[in-house]
């Protein structure tokens, strides 16, 4: 745990990517295989196990620190992070106890605590652990037993560090880290250094992502070398058929094969050794249903017959990554698309669709096609170079997304709440309202992203000076500030007081030029429902 | 009977003596606890402060009419005995003690209980009513001994220097800048200060405080000296073109707020050193206890929470809504900018 805590501190003390890579590579090189495996597991979002809920942890820490529960809770609201708060309020560690040196040993301990059967025993064991750990170790321990460890190491950075430490190409590591491996059932050797073919059976490829095209001048080569296709608004997924088994993975690296029985008949239609990249869409009458329908399917591990009939899904195929058992990601796009087309054409199951491509003759014709996005139910277009490879991660190369301009509305800020993580201690989460027909402000959306750091600081000061009431971490503020909100969609909702729900609301601009009375009305918003 | 000190729209007011403490609007007579801009404001006719604060106030407020007092020295105004006592916050910082007919109030301004080796160390003053700040009044804030933090800063600088990289340290121009200068081993290399920092250093030197030699950029005998130097600047210089001349550099922020990871990441600095001129949780509690006061008025900071905590400890505590701000993540803009 000491070395892992030192790693964490060192990573936390630099903002430079290359330094972080060096630090992590150095650590991995010297750590034991068990610690290497667990470090990679933690940095890819895997956790040991949850020992307690946040209320229990707060109460145990309050007890150990001799503080009232309300004060611990209020401190948590200020600091923003529970693991950090509890590490900070506990008394100094007992220096006479022997610290646990390895990360894997600490995790073993966590599994042992988890197996205890009474809450008292767990509390006592956790408090004993707290007493032995330094402040940083305690913080990490808290993160391991409740919550997730986000420490500014992206998947890409981790891959680079492993690559540097063990002299392996990055794309191979990216691939080996995919899928649902479990640090308790695999080893570092199996996962990274010497994977066996059977371990690879269900593994998806890293997804290739695109940046938004801000300006058409970003496309430098001749437009005729590009193709366009619609950017469908569903769940990005890979459908894998290998060794007569079918797997469906989402971009969030979740195995969802059982959730979508519609795809199971594809097993007999698609040859083994095939991986298709596409988008899962709720689909009816030759058109996608709005994303909210798909959401109803996403949560169900085993959907009922009724739900499947109500909300059927399809896979809109974009790309072919593996063909006849060979990785073809480095073949030119147009070649991959041709094979894909044949594959979909030969398939007799109608839940596999081909995402149609358009050759980009002119920006005018592309614009015209993009205008049809709302009608077709897509978010806009994807522009892809004919020769582009299927890369890993998000690159400014070969692929661009070209979304339709979002809808916007002016709304008044009425509540503010302090943020978490990087935004802790600042008021960064806001609730916005528009005018109803009685000229009362009715909340319509919460949003936090979209302001610059300077604007956030300025608004934070304003909020502190214009607070009307405090309810725990939330403050109501004088309804004076107007913001332009951008969003991707709007629909009626029975769950919201306003009767509407916005999709992906975010702050587009702080409209200091507008007064509260200039903000839009609920009627304006409702009028948008019929358009969209 | 009227209160000895009341809150008006101009600030904390003692009607019997007809004077204000740290008023936020211009008044006839103002006692100033210390030179930070939320306490020492422009526009009053007569100022009274500790004599070390005089050059600081003159630097910040211009040619004002100001009288200096020693710690413990008393003056009497319409029956009210007035004296200043060390607050340990910054050079010249003082708690204001007011006594009238046996009743004693202490207005502590900003304070810290840890000795910093440069401002005279905090001394608890027995009183009936104690006005306390609560900038770091949550049990999350526990400062390490000063030498631990100074060693971290020293090692950071030396490591950067051996890598051929300059060290940019963002710190409040009044208080932390001098504290760091006075406690580092400055033989390592040259120290360069921003104009705003320099102005406060000069004011402290005029007050008779010994500080190691520092350079302004314009005074460097040789531009190559800036390589691997320690540069002390207010946080407003971050992202400023003024910094470009020091490239390559690493940045750090010295602030109590750096105890919070969120605030540290917010700063986008390479390092955060947890260093504050305010009392931490234990410091606040110990200081309050040491005054023996039964009545505590809590101002700027986590006033709601801290006063509730004090009530649960059996004290008569309540919130006093002042316009003081205490330590902020970013120092308020100073007039001095450099390009």
pLDDT in tens, A170-203: 888 888 888 778 899 999 998 988 887 776 788 8
CA distances from A34 to A24, A38, A153, A201, A241 (A): 16, 6, 20, 24, 32
Whether residue B309 and residue A68 make contact (CB cut-off 8 A), yes or no, is yes
Query: Which region among A121-125, A236-240, A504-508 has the lowest average model confidence (pLDDT)?
Result: A504-508
Q: Check CB contact of B309 with chain A, cutoff 8 Å.
A: yes
Nearest Cα to A314, choosing from A293, A333, A332, A328? Answer: A293
Inside any domain, residue B334: no
Across A4-18, A138-152, A427-441, B276-290, which has the greatest mean pLDDT?
B276-290
Percent of chain A at pLDDT above 90? Answer: 48
Supply the DSSP symbol for A384.
E
| Contact: B257, A457; criterion CB under 8 Å | no
Integer Cα distance of A312 and A323 in angstroms: 27
| Residue B305 sits at the chain A interface (C-beta within 8 Å) | yes
Report the candidate in A250, A302, A246, A249 with the shortest Cα–Cα distance to residue A269.
Answer: A246
> How sure is the predictor about A421, in pLDDT bands with cuts at 50, 70 and 90?
low
Nearest CB to A67: which of B139, B259, B271? Answer: B139
pLDDT band at B111; cut points 50, 70, 90: very high
Q: How far apart are CA B38 and CA B301, in angstroms?
A: 13
Closest alpha carbon to A316 in A382, A389, A249, A233: A233
Residues in chain B: 339
Tell me the chain A residues in contact with residue B235 when contact means C-beta distances shorter than 8 Å: none
Where are the CATH 2.40.50.140 domain residues in chain A?
Answer: 407-531
Tokens standing for residue B206: 């005029």
* CATH number for domain A2-145, candidates 2.40.50.100, 3.30.930.10, 1.10.3260.10, 3.30.70.3270: 1.10.3260.10
Closest chain A C-alpha to B73 CA, distance in angstroms: 38
Residue A261 buriedness (CB in 10 A; 0-12 / 13-18 / 19+): middle
Of A327-336, A445-454, B12-21, which range is least confident? A445-454
Same domain as B163, residue B128: no
Measured distance CA(A37)–CA(A27) in Å, rounded? 12
**For residue B233, pLDDT beyond 80:** yes
Please list the residue range(s) of chain A that carry CATH number 1.10.3260.10: 2-145
Is pLDDT above 80 for B1? no
Structure tokens at A48: 């040991």
Give the number of other CB atoms < 10 A from CB of residue A269. Answer: 15
Question: Are B154 and B260 in a shared domain?
Answer: yes
Q: Among A350, A283, A288, A355, which Cα is nearest to A319's?
A: A355
Candidate from A71, A152, A470 with C-beta closest to B309: A71
Can you say whether the dihedral through the CA atoms of A323, A324, A328, A331 is positive or negative?
A: negative
User: What is the chain A residue with the closest CA to B266?
Assistant: A422
Beta strands in chain B (DSSP E): 6-8, 11-14, 19-21, 29-31, 46-50, 65-69, 74-77, 80-86, 94-100, 103-107, 129-134, 166-170, 191-193, 230-233, 249-254, 271-273, 295-301, 316-319
**pLDDT winner (highest mean) among A430-439, A484-493, A502-511:** A430-439
Mean per-residue pLDDT of chain A = 88
Tokens encoding B149: 């933090």
Clarify whether residues B261 and B294 are in a common domain: no
**B140 lies within 8 A of chain A by CB:** yes
d(CA A465, CA A453): 19
Q: Scan for tokens 């909300």, then name that residue.
A: A311
CA-nearest of A12, A4, A8, A10 to A422 is A12
Q: Which of B260, B301, B321 to mutate to test the interface with A (most CBs of A within 10 A)?
A: B260
Of A72, A152, A424, the CB nearest to B262: A424
Q: What is the mean pLDDT of residues B207-232?
A: 92
| Residues of chain B positioned with their CB less than 8 A from the CB of A15 | 268-270
Structure tokens at A333: 């796009």
A12 in contact with B, Cβ within 8 Å: yes
B109 lies in the same domain as B219 = no
Same domain, B306 and B230: no
Partner-chain contact B142 A88, CB within 8 Å: yes
Cβ-Cβ contacts under 8 Å for A117 (sequence gap 6 or more): none
CATH number at residue B193: 3.40.50
> How far is A481 from A414, CA to CA, in rounded Å?
8
Strand partners, A313: A282
* CB hemisphere CA count around B277 (13 angstroms): 30
pLDDT at B89 over 90: yes
- pLDDT tens for residues B2-28? 799 999 999 999 999 999 999 999 999
The residue among B254, B273, B292 that closes a domain is B273
pLDDT, one tens digit per residue, over A341-382 is 999 999 989 999 999 998 888 888 888 888 888 788 888 999
| Structural domain count of chain B | 2
Range of the domain at B210: 146-273
Question: Is there a domain that residue B329 lies in?
Answer: no
Q: What CATH code would you report for A407-531?
A: 2.40.50.140
Which chain B positions have a beta carbon within 8 Å of A85's beta carbon? 140
C-alpha closest to that of B120 among B13, B34, B18, B5? B34
Alpha helix positions (H), A190-327: 197-200, 291-298, 305-310
Q: A147 and A51 in contact (C-beta within 8 Å)?
A: no
Burial label, B151 (beta-carbon count in 10 A; 0-12, 13-18, 19+): middle
Partner residue opposite A15 with nearest CB, options B263, B270, B309: B270
Q: In this complex, how many residue pairs, one in chain A and one in chain B, have their CB atoms less than 8 Å apart?
A: 73
Asked if B141 lies within 8 A of A88 by C-beta distance, the reply is yes
Whether a cis peptide bond, with omega within 30° of 0, leads into B248 is yes
pLDDT of residue B288: 98
Question: Does residue B59 or residue A200 have the better pLDDT?
Answer: B59
Distances (CA, A) of B303 to A417, B82, B222, B297, B326: 18, 26, 50, 9, 12
Domain match, B134 and B23 both = yes
Provide the CB-side half-sphere exposure for A275 (13 A, CA): 20
Alpha helices (runs of H) in B243-317, residue ranges in sequence order? 261-267, 281-291, 303-312
Task: Indicate if B178 and B72 belong to the same structural domain.
Answer: no
User: Which residue of A8, A68, A79, A87 is the best one to mutate when testing the B interface, meaning the one whose CB has the most B CBs within 10 A?
Assistant: A79
Regarding whether B281 and B136 lie in a shared domain, the answer is yes
Give pLDDT, residue A251: 87
Q: Is A421 on the interface with B (CB under 8 A)?
A: yes
Chain A positions in Cβ-Cβ contact with residue B265 (cut-off 8 Å):
152, 421-422
Measure the CA–CA gap between B58 and B66, rounded to whole angstroms. 9
Are B250 and B315 within one domain? no
Contacts of A138 in chain B (CB under 8 A): none
- Sequence-ordered list of residues with C-beta below 8 angstroms from that of A416, at least 6 positions apart, any chain: A427, A428, A429, A430, A431, A463, A474, A475, A477
Helix (H, G, I), strand (E, B) or coil at A32: coil
Same domain, B211 and B269: yes
Contacts of B174 (CB under 8 A, 6+ apart): B35, B36, B56, B90, B91, B200, B203
Q: What is each CA distance from A156 to A20, A238, A253, A442, B171, in whole angstroms?
A: 12, 20, 15, 43, 34
The DSSP bridge partners found for residue B272 are B253
What is the pLDDT, as a whole number, of residue B126?
97
For the domain made up of A208-403, give the CATH fold: D-amino Acid Aminotransferase; Chain A, domain 1 (3.30.470)
Bridge partners of residue B65, in order along the sequence? B46
Q: Which 3 state secondary structure label does DSSP give B298?
A: strand
Q: List A residues 485-514 in contact with B (Cβ-Cβ < 8 A).
A: none
Q: Check residue B335 and give its pLDDT.
A: 53
Q: How much is the pLDDT for A52? A: 87
pLDDT, position B339: 61
Q: Which of B140, B262, B309 sits opposite A88 (nearest CB)?
A: B140
Q: Do A78 and B302 touch (CB under 8 A)?
A: yes
Flag whether pLDDT at A460 surpasses 60. yes
CATH number at residue B82: 3.60.15.10
Checking if the pLDDT of A471 tops 80, the result is: no
* pLDDT computed for residue B283 by the predictor: 97
Q: Do A422 and B266 touch (CB under 8 A)?
A: yes
Of B138, B268, B329, the CB nearest to A78: B138
Q: Does A65 touch chain B (CB under 8 A)?
A: yes
Residue of A nearest to B269 (CA): A15
CA distance A16 to B212: 32
ipTM of the prediction: 0.91
Pairing of strands B19-21, B29-31: parallel
Alpha-carbon Rg of chain A, whole angstroms?
26
What is the spatial distance between Cα A318 and Cα A210, in angstroms, rounded to a whole number? Answer: 13
With respect to residue B49, please indicate whether it lies within any of the assigned structural domains. yes
Where does the pLDDT of residue B193 fall: very low under 50, low under 70, confident under 90, or very high at 90 and above?
Answer: very high
Q: Which residues of A touch B302 (CB under 8 A)?
A: 78
Spatial distance between the Cα atoms of A15 and A152, rounded to a whole number of angstroms: 9
In chain B, residues 233-272 whose CB comes closer than 8 Å to chain A: 257, 259-266, 268-271
**Quick check: B127 and B104 in contact, CB under 8 A?**
yes
């Amino acid at each position: 745990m000491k070395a892992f805590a030192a790693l964490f501190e060192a990573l936390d003390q630099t903002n430079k990517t290359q330094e972080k890579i060096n630090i992590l590579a150095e650590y991995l090189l010297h750590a034991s295989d068990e610690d290497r495996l667990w470090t990679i597991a933690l940095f890819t979002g895997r956790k040991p196990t949850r020992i307690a809920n946040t209320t229990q942890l707060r109460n145990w820490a309050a007890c150990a620190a001799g503080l009232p529960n309300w004060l611990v809770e209020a401190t948590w609201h200020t600091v923003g992070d529970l693991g950090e708060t509890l590490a900070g309020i506990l008394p100094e560690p007992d220096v006479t106890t022997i610290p646990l040196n390895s990360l894997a040993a600490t995790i073993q301990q966590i599994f042992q605590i988890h197996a205890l059967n009474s809450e008292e025993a767990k509390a006592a064991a956790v408090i004993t652990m707290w007493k032995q750990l330094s402040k940083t170790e305690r913080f990490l321990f808290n993160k391991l037993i409740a919550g997730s460890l986000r420490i500014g190491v992206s998947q890409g950075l981790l891959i680079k560090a492993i690559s540097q430490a063990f002299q392996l190409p990055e794309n191979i590591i990216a691939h080996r880290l995919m899928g649902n491996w479990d640090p308790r059932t695999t080893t570092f050797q199996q996962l990274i250094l010497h994977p066996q073919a059977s371990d690879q059976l269900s593994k998806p490829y890293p997804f290739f992502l695109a940046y938004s095209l801000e300006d058409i001048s970003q496309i430098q080569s001749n437009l005729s070398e590009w193709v366009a296709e619609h950017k469908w608004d569903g769940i990005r997924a890979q459908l894998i058929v290998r060794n007569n088994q079918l797997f469906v993975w989402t971009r969030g690296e979740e195995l969802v094969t059982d959730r979508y029985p519609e795809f199971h008949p594809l097993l007999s239609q698609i040859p083994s050794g095939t991986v298709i990249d596409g988008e899962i869409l709720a689909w009816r009458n030759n058109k996608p249903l709005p994303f909210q329908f798909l959401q109803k399917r996403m949560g169900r591990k085993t959907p009922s017959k009724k739900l499947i009939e109500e909300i059927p899904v399809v896979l809109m195929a974009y790309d072919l990554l593996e063909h006849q058992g060979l990785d073809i990601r480095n073949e030119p796009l147009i070649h991959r698309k041709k094979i894909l087309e044949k594959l979909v054409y030969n398939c007799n199951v109608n839940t596999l669709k081909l995402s149609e491509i358009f050759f980009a003759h002119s920006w005018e014709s592309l614009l015209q096609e993009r205008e049809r996005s709302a009608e077709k139910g897509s978010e806009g277009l994807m522009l892809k170079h004919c020769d582009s490879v299927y890369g890993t991660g998000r690159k400014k190369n070969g692929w661009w997304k070209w979304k339709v301009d979002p809808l916007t509305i002016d709304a008044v800020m009425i509540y503010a709440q302090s943020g978490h993580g990087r935004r802790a201690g600042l008021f960064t989460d806001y609730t916005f309202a528009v005018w109803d027909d009685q000229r009362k402000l009715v909340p319509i959306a919460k949003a936090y992203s979209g302001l610059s750091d300077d604007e956030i600081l300025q608004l934070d000061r304003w909020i502190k000076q214009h607070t009307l009431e405090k309810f725990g971490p939330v403050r109501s503020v004088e309804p004076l500030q107007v913001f332009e909100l951008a969003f991707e969609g709007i629909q009626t909702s029975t769950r919201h007081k306003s009767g509407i729900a916005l999709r992906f609301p975010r702050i587009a601009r702080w409209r200091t030029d507008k007064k509260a009375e200039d903000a839009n009305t609920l009627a304006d918003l409702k009028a948008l429902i019929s358009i969209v | 009977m009227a209160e000895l000190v009341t809150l008006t729209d101009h600030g904390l007011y003692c009607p019997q003596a007809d004077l204000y403490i740290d008023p936020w609007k211009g008044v006839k007579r103002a006692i100033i606890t210390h030179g930070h801009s939320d306490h020492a404001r422009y526009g009053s006719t007569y100022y009274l402060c500790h004599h070390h604060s005089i050059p600081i106030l003159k630097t910040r407020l211009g040619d004002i009419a100001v009288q200096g007092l020693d710690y413990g020295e008393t003056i009497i105004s319409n029956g009210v005995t007035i004296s200043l006592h060390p607050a340990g916050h910054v050079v010249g910082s003082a708690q204001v003690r007011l006594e009238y007919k046996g009743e004693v109030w202490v207005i502590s301004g900003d304070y810290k209980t840890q000795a910093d080796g440069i401002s005279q160390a905090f001394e608890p003053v027995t009183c009936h009513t104690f006005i306390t700040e609560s900038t770091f009044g949550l049990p999350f804030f526990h400062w390490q001994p000063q030498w631990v933090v100074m060693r971290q800063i020293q090692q950071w600088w030396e490591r950067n220097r051996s890598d051929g990289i300059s060290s940019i340290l963002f710190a409040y121009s009044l208080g932390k800048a001098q504290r760091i200068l006075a406690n580092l081993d400055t033989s390592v290399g040259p120290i360069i200060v921003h104009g705003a920092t320099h102005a406060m250093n000069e004011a402290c030197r005029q007050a008779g405080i010994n500080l190691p030699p520092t350079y302004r950029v314009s005074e460097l005998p040789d531009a190559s000296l800036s390589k691997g130097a320690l540069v002390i600047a207010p946080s407003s210089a971050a992202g400023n073109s003024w910094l470009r001349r020091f490239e390559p550099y690493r940045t750090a922020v010295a602030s109590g707020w750096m105890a919070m990871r969120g605030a540290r990441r917010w700063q986008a600095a390479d390092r955060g050193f947890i260093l504050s001129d305010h009392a931490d949780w234990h410091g606040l509690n110990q200081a309050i206890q040491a005054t023996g006061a039964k009545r505590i008025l809590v101002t700027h900071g986590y006033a709601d929470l801290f006063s509730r905590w004090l009530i649960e400890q059996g004290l008569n505590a309540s919130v006093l809504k002042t316009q003081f701000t205490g330590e902020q993540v970013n120092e308020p803009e100073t007039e001095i900018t450099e390009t």
